[in-house]
Amino acid sequence: MNRKQIFNILKIVVSVSLLLFIFSSLDFSAFLLAVSRANPWWLGAALVMIMVGVFIRAIRWQILLDAIGVHVPIGELTAIYFIGFLFNNLLPSGLGGDAIRMVELNRHSRRGSDAVTSVVVDRFLGLSALQAIALVALIFDWDAVPTAVAYFTVVIFVAGLVLGYLLIHRPLYFALQNKIPLFRRLTQIKMVGNLFESFQRYPLPALGKSYLVSLLFNVSLITMNVFIGLGLGAKANLAQYAILVPITSVVLIIPISFAGLGVREETYRQLFGQIGVPPEIAVAMSLLVYVFGNICTGLIGGVIYFLRSASNVVSEKG
């Protein structure tokens, strides 16, 4: 058994342990009652928003690919996104879907680097735009969340802004590399270096358009959470969703659990608990986000993947 397999097993252990801990401290009957009383119309609306969000993400990806001369139909990119969700649920890593997106995209480009750079930049822009929405929500309603949460949001936004500027400003990036030893050591980390090289391939107009589409996608993501909250009767306002949902997305970047399970639920419980949402409802919200955002989209991805495989078999026999 190699290190990667051991690490993947540990992720599953972390997810199971966290879920056991969470449910051992919940009023399980209250949790079941909240789920059973959920308004199906609001939940249906949330599911629709998930599907809309996948299509918007495909548009953002297409903008990036077009900028480097890789032209893929929007329907194909949407299908690849759904297949990515399938593998997010099969592989004990939140990056499993990204890896599959790279593999699938290689069908349309002879340069493997095209797939890598587009997926990396696509992910970063999405997270950055989400933090911008959180900051706008804070500006309009600073008291929507506890002060510590508000300051954490500001720090994350500023950090992302600084990182984004360094990624597109090549002279400054190399100047800091030469003058600051710590910065040079950080850029020698493979992931950091890949992120910089990825951004350097895209013209600023393409990055700007992709960022605007990212804002639209993240509005759909937050709206989906709002609909789930309304369906479960969570007492939270729009500003609170706009601030708290981005934090959960940042936390889920850390690959310590299987598909974010356990980490997502505890994050929702802690964050939404600070604004008065009962833990049973907060955990129900997070699980429905997982079901709609991972399971339902993954099932669609499974159908697409099966049909593609069947089609390839038929073509080979023909």
Q: Which two tokens stand for residue 98?
A: 């990204």
Task: Identify the pLDDT of residue 116.
Answer: 64
User: Each residue of 246-267: pLDDT tens digit?
Assistant: 999 888 887 788 878 889 999 9
Task: Determine the 3-state secondary structure of 306 from DSSP.
Answer: helix
Dist CA 32 CA 38 (whole Å): 10
* pLDDT recorded at residue 232: 95
At residue 221, the pLDDT reads 94
Range of the domain at 22: 3-317
Question: Burial of 232 by CB count in 10 Å (0-12 exposed, 13-18 middle, 19+ buried)?
Answer: buried
Q: Enter the pTM of the model.
A: 0.86
Instruction: Look at residue 21 in the predicted model and tell me its pLDDT.
Output: 92
Query: How far, in Å, CA of 244 to CA of 318, rounded?
Result: 53
Q: What is the pLDDT of residue 112?
A: 53
pLDDT of residue 276: 92
Q: Which long-range contacts (CB under 8 A, 24 or more apart) does 254-259 make?
A: 255/11, 255/93, 255/94, 255/95, 256/11, 256/14, 257/11, 257/14, 257/15, 257/18, 258/11, 258/12, 258/14, 258/15, 258/92, 258/93, 259/15, 259/88, 259/89, 259/92, 259/94, 259/290, 259/294
**Tokens representing 67?**
């900028």
Residue 292 pLDDT: 93
| Residue 142 DSSP class | G
Non-local (6+) Cβ contacts of 121 within 8 A are 64, 198, 199, 202, 207, 210
Say how many domains are in the chain: 1
In angstroms, the CA 52 to CA 190 distance is: 34
Between the CA atoms of 170, 174, 179 and 180, what dihedral angle is there, to the nearest 10 degrees? 90
Residues of the chain with pLDDT under 50: 92-95, 314
